[in-house]
């Protein structure tokens, strides 16, 4: 066993590795520190932070933080840390229980307050998020996590102007805050300024390449520029949108069908035209829906930014519709159905151009701005 005075060197080395995201390398140093001083809670808390970053090790993280709490039951920080760990494990209700225990010990504990705001964010309780963030900002006016969560809560309530004001306040104080840059990107996206949104998301990813919040924002910004991808975003929104869309389409079908049947009694043959329009509209709706759901990420592969924003899994899924399209096109060519095969090629080319067109427009806008400034 190492000498007792080796506890802090092991602890500090582990913290340095963890802060540089080398959590697997940090684990042995924390374990060594624990073996030297098994009654010190800090090493258990740091070990828990490492375990939570390693897939499948959530139980070990909770066991480690529980040991830290057992050793320091009067320290609110460890309850707040347990809340954060439970949030990472998607156990939000249990996280709130741990956080409230910590706040009962110290109502001003920043770790517990931040964990509470985060848990309410995950649960979608936006009013509680606001209350929690305002409580933090009363104590710590420049706290970046609270400002970011408050901006996010305001934006999700449709209070975009207030959200942008909070983000502006944050970036004026801390321009290198990656979460704040991503929040600014979402604010720009809300008003349709995709060029500025891209800049903020890219800036956030430069500061924190592992930020999934910024990466998803960049993908959303790229998708919002193309009409077919906006349809994809619509059908990935809450269930009420799918319900409203489905009811609307069914309602239109019933109305048009009813009008067609009525007119067919007055003017025989007119009903056939109406039924043809009805069938065509239904096929177009189904085609666009299927195309949007299955080809959204495929179209982003044509955009250099989209290529870098998509994960490996999303890229793999994006290749599936491309494979099917290539297969169908080859079959039609082989069968001598030249018109259908060429139509498919033209459609894919048109969609590919629709992805590139906003980028061309953005470049044209930048060129005009630079020319006017010059």
The pLDDT profile of the chain, 374 residues, written as one tens digit per residue, is: 445 578 999 999 999 999 998 999 999 999 999 999 999 999 999 999 999 999 999 999 999 999 999 999 999 999 999 999 999 999 999 999 999 999 999 999 999 999 999 999 999 899 999 999 999 999 999 899 999 999 999 988 888 889 989 999 999 888 889 989 999 998 888 777 877 888 899 889 888 888 888 888 888 887 776 655 555 555 544 444 555 555 666 666 666 666 666 666 665 665 566 666 666 666 556 655 555 555 667 767 767 777 778 878 777 777 776 677 677 778 877 777 777 677 767 766 666 666 556 566 666 666 677 777 66
Same structural domain, 169 and 271: no
Side-chain-side CA neighbours of 96 within 13 Å: the count stands at 13
Same structural domain, 320 and 252: yes
Given a contact cutoff of 8 angstroms between Cβ atoms, the answer to whether 221 and 201 are in contact is yes
163 domain-assigned: yes
| CATH of residue 181 | 1.25.40.10
DSSP string, 330-347: HHHHHTT-HHHHHHHHHH
41 domain-assigned: no
In this prediction, residue 248 carries a pLDDT of: 64
Same structural domain, 265 and 314: yes
302 domain-assigned: yes
Distance between CA atoms of residues 44 and 77, nearest Å:
13
Total residues found in the chain within this entry: 374
Distance between CA atoms of residues 23 and 9, nearest Å:
17
Given a contact cutoff of 8 angstroms between Cβ atoms, the answer to whether 315 and 300 are in contact is no
6 domain-assigned: no
Same structural domain, 240 and 364: yes
How is residue 179 written in tokens? 């979460």
Same structural domain, 319 and 265: yes
Same structural domain, 269 and 169: no
Same structural domain, 363 and 261: yes
35 domain-assigned: no
Q: Which of 184, 201, 223 marks a domain boundary?
A: 223
48 domain-assigned: no
In this prediction, residue 37 carries a pLDDT of: 93
Same structural domain, 199 and 247: no
In this prediction, residue 226 carries a pLDDT of: 63
In this prediction, residue 2 carries a pLDDT of: 46
325 domain-assigned: yes
In this prediction, residue 270 carries a pLDDT of: 58
Q: Which of 223, 251, 284 marks a domain boundary?
A: 223
Within 10 angstroms of residue 191's Cβ, the number of other Cβ atoms is: 12
Same structural domain, 238 and 357: yes
In this prediction, residue 240 carries a pLDDT of: 45
Same structural domain, 278 and 149: no
In this prediction, residue 132 carries a pLDDT of: 94
Q: Which of 223, 250, 285 marks a domain boundary?
A: 223
* Domain range enclosing 187: 136-223
In this prediction, residue 75 carries a pLDDT of: 94
How many independent structural domains does the chain possess?
2
In this prediction, residue 247 carries a pLDDT of: 61
Same structural domain, 260 and 360: yes
Same structural domain, 237 and 212: no
């Amino acid at each position: 066993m190492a000498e007792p005075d080796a506890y802090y060197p092991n602890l500090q080395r582990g913290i340095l590795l963890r802060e540089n995201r080398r959590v697997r390398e940090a684990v042995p140093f924390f374990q060594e520190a624990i073996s030297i001083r098994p009654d010190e809670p800090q090493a258990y808390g740091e070990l828990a932070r490492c375990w939570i970053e390693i897939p499948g090790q959530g139980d070990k993280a909770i066991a480690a933080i529980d040991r830290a709490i057992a050793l320091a039951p009067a320290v609110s920080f460890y309850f707040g840390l347990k809340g954060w760990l439970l949030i990472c494990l998607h156990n939000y209700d249990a996280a709130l229980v741990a956080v409230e225990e910590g706040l009962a010990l110290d109502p001003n504990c920043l770790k517990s307050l931040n964990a509470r705001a985060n848990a309410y964010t995950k649960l979608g309780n936006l009013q509680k998020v606001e209350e929690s963030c305002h409580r933090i900002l009363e104590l710590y006016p420049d706290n970046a996590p609270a400002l970011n969560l408050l901006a996010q809560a305001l934006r999700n309530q449709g209070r975009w102007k207030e959200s942008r004001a909070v983000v502006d306040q944050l970036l004026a104080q801390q321009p290198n805050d990656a979460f704040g840059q991503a929040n600014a990107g979402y604010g720009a996206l809300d008003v349709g300024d995709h060029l500025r949104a891209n800049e903020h998301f890219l800036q956030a990813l430069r500061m924190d390449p592992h930020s999934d919040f910024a990466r998803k924002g960049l993908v959303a910004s790229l998708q919002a520029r193309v009409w077919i991808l906006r349809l994809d975003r619509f059908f990935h929104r809450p269930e009420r949108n799918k319900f409203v869309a489905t009811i609307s389409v069914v309602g239109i079908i019933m109305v048009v069908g009813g009008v067609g049947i009525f007119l067919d009694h007055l003017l025989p043959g007119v009903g056939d035209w109406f039924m043809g329009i009805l069938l065509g509209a239904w096929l177009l709706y189904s085609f666009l829906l299927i195309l949007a759901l299955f080809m959204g990420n495929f179209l982003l592969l044509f955009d250099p930014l989209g290529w870098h924003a998509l994960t490996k899994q999303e890229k793999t899924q994006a290749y599936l519709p491309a494979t099917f399209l290539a297969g169908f096109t080859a079959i039609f060519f082989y069968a001598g159905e030249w018109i259908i095969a060429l139509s498919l090629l033209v459609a894919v080319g048109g969609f590919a151009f629709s992805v590139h067109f906003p980028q061309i427009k953005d470049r044209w806008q930048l060129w005009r701005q630079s020319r006017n400034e010059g």
